[in-house]
Amino acid sequence: MTEYKNNVIEIFDSTLRDGAQSEGINFSLEDKLEVVKTLDAFGVKYIEAGNPGSNPKDLEFFKRVKGLNLKATLVAFGSTRRKNIKAEDDKNIASLLSADTSTVAIFGKSWKLHVTEIINTTPEENLNMIQDTISYLKSKGKKIIYDAEHFFDGYKDDPDYALKTLEVAYESGAEILALCDTNGGCFPHEIYDITKTVIEKFKDVTIGIHCHNDNACAEANSIIAVKAGAKHVQGTFLGYGERCGNANLSAIIPSLQLKLGYSCVAEDKIAMLTHTAKKIAEISNTPLAQFLPYVGSSAFTHKAGMHADGVLKVSHSFEHINPEAVGNERKFVLSEIAGRNVLASKIRRYFPELTKDSPKVIDILNQIKQMEHDGYQFESAEATFLLIVYKALGLYTPQFELISYSTNTQVPSEDMLSATAIVKIKVLDKYELTCAQGDGPVNALDIALRKALEVFYPSLAKMSLIDYKVRVLDSKAATAAKVRVLITSTDGNDVWTTVGVSTNIIEASFKALVDSIEYKLMTDKKIIPNGKS
């Protein structure tokens, strides 16, 4: 039996195995190594790294990973032996041994339906498969985590048989029995009652929980299993997994540790939670969902005026934890429903002397509300908001004057250059007229404008447009509707977003584009502090 302090919970991350089964997730060998290093740095207990019998990439991974100095325990994953053969004759069992990990996770059937209809064997032979596999791997010096697949459905169908599979696994040497809600359809009260029954029956072995999220209860089910006495929690770091995903460890860990008093990772590691989530999302080549609890960009973002005002006065009035505890940050977004407190708090980042009652702040708020009435939105376009603030405070100096622009579209196009733009600008007393081709009128305008301005501002050569979004604001007006355009730009260091609105999509785009360049030039001249948008 593993000895625990009462509040210690083992975290078992399956991002590289169960998470890799998620639609759209494809880890390269180098990706897998980076995920391992990231999870190890965060401090999880176990990292399930794949099935060495499933593909050559996983076999190569287990060779490469030996070169890492890991504190976490690496786990190879596989199934019980095939029916009617010996474990030592099973190729998949041999591949598990070739992975050379100290710990092996073995899954076996707990539900008679799967025994008779899926693997087509008898209940007795299934028990033999569990016993033979675990006994053989134990004889090779392996620590065994037994994943009781479909355990909860199996228990509801035939509790005696489901418990018998656990008994055989335990008597054969398994040190952890993980109860799996493989179909992800159980509710917390079921998980609690069944887990409690198992813990009362198996007092000398660690009981774990492994939940899927098909009815949106995976995190709640995992936490309630801990409340029932489970000491080992399996999941994937961002909830990646087949179908609707697995239990999301980035939500479970802080809930257990910060709110319920359990210890999942070292105290100095929990503040790395958001950084770890962002890094795993980046490695996985997927955007980090903004509404994820604890780690999402919206987790501590406040828009409603009353909420924002409350947070500014007493942070926990509308926040369940301090965002800094998990390495995230509090944000206030500007909108027509935000009050002066929110606006003042954003402006005070740049101008600490201004208060919510300052006449200039009131003027800016009125302007923001009018612009939002006209279709603007500043939640994601803070660079445009800053330009408005600097103009209102008399601190804005135009870096160039736009004299005129025009675009022409040609169909069919040649070499993806479907549009031509002509831009004339003035800087001080000098004029520049430039023509450029691009893949569409906005791209052509972007190239032409920056080409003209680079004559005066060479730093613009490092600037590029990385995202472009269009939103129709009044669908009833059809092609005459107003559109809102958001443009995100970067210079390799800073990233900023600007917004433009018009009934003409080219004009709306150009407004956002001009703001984007103005913002870049003002940060280059240190008029606006760099990296604040």
pLDDT at 398 over 70: yes
Q: Assess whether 47 and 187 both reside in one domain.
A: yes
Residue 281 has pLDDT above 80, yes or no: yes
List the CATH number of the domain containing 476.
3.30.160.270
Place of tokens 């100290």: 102
Rounded Cα distance between 217 and 239, Å, is: 12
DSSP state of 501: E
The 3-class SS string of 14-46 reads CCCCCHHHCCCCCCCHHHHHHHHHHHHHHCCCE
Tokens representing residue 424 in the block: 């004339």
Domain that holds residue 472: 401-524
Is 396 inside any structural domain? no
pLDDT at residue 237, rounded to an integer = 96
323, 357, 373: which is the final residue of a domain? Answer: 373
Structural domains in the chain (count):
3
Question: Do 134 and 211 share a domain, yes or no?
Answer: yes
Q: Are residues 70 and 200 in the same domain?
A: yes
Q: What is the pLDDT of residues 432-462, one digit of tens each?
A: 999 998 888 888 998 999 899 999 999 998 8
Question: By three-state DSSP, how is residue 345 classified?
Answer: helix
Cα-Cα-Cα-Cα torsion 349, 350, 356, 360, nearest 10 degrees, comes to -160
Q: Say yes or no: 411 and 510 in one domain.
A: yes
Inside any domain, residue 395 = no
Average pLDDT over the chain, rounded to an integer: 89
Q: What are the structure tokens assigned to 220, written together?
A: 């709640």
Flag whether pLDDT at 85 surpasses 90. Answer: yes
pLDDT for 175-215, tens place per residue? 999 999 999 999 999 999 999 999 999 999 999 999 999 99
What was the pLDDT predicted at 479? 59
Closest to 130 measured CA to CA, from 208, 185, 78: 78
Q: Is there a single domain that holds both residue 350 and residue 279?
A: no
Is the model's pLDDT at 413 over the cut of 70?
Answer: no
Task: Work out the number of other CB atoms within 10 angstroms of the CB of residue 273.
Answer: 25
Q: Is 320 domain-assigned? A: yes
Q: List all residues 6 or more positions away from 55 whose beta carbon is below 8 Å from its beta carbon.
A: none
pTM score, whole prediction:
0.71
Contact 203, 229 (CB under 8 A): no
Three-class SS of residue 531? Answer: coil
480 within domain boundaries: yes
- The answer to the question of residue 294 being in a domain is no
Looking at the structure, tell me whether residues 475 and 365 fall in a common domain: no
Q: Are residues 120 and 242 in the same domain?
A: yes
> Read out DSSP for 73-99?
EEEEEEEPPPTTS-GGG-HHHHHHHHT
Question: pLDDT value at position 140?
Answer: 97
The answer to whether residues 305 and 280 belong to one domain is: no
pLDDT at residue 345, rounded to an integer:
73
337 and 470 belong to one structural domain: no
Q: For residue 179, give the DSSP letter.
A: E
What's the token pair of residue 476?
């009833």
Q: Report yes or no on 5 lying in a domain.
A: no
pLDDT reported for residue 295: 95
What is the dihedral sign for C-alpha 55, 57, 60, 62? negative
Give the helix ranges, DSSP H, for 374-459. 382-392, 441-454
Q: Is the per-residue pLDDT at 336 higher than 60?
A: no
Contact yes or no for 178/145 (Cβ under 8 A): yes
User: For residues 105 and 78, what is the distance between their CA atoms, to the nearest angstrom?
Assistant: 6
| Cα dihedral 47, 48, 52, 57 in deg (nearest 10) | -60
For 60-74, write each residue's pLDDT tens digit. Answer: 888 899 889 999 999
Q: What is the DSSP string of 248-285?
A: BHHHHHHIIIIIS--BSS-TTTGGGHHHHHHHHHHHHT
The Cα 515–Cα 512 span in angstroms is 5
Same domain, 278 and 335: no
109 lies in a domain?
Answer: yes
- Do 170 and 214 belong to one domain? yes
Whether residue 366 sits in one domain with residue 242: no
Alpha carbons within 13 angstroms on the beta-carbon side of residue 418 total 9
Which domain CATH number covers 126?
Answer: 3.20.20.70
Q: What are the backbone dihedrals phi and psi of residue 498, each rounded to the nearest 5 degrees, phi first?
A: -130, 165
Q: Residue-wise over 505-531: b if at least 16 C-beta within 10 A, else e?
A: bbebbbbbbbbbbbbbbbbbeeebeee
Query: What are the tens digits of pLDDT across the range 240-280?
Result: 999 999 999 999 999 999 999 999 999 999 999 999 998 99
DSSP string, 82-148: PTTS-GGG-HHHHHHHHTT-SEEEEEEE--HHIIIIIS---HHHHHHHHHHHHHHHHHTT-EEEEEE
CA distances from 289 to 40, 218, 258, 475 (A): 23, 17, 22, 27
Q: Are 225 and 192 in contact (CB under 8 A)?
A: yes
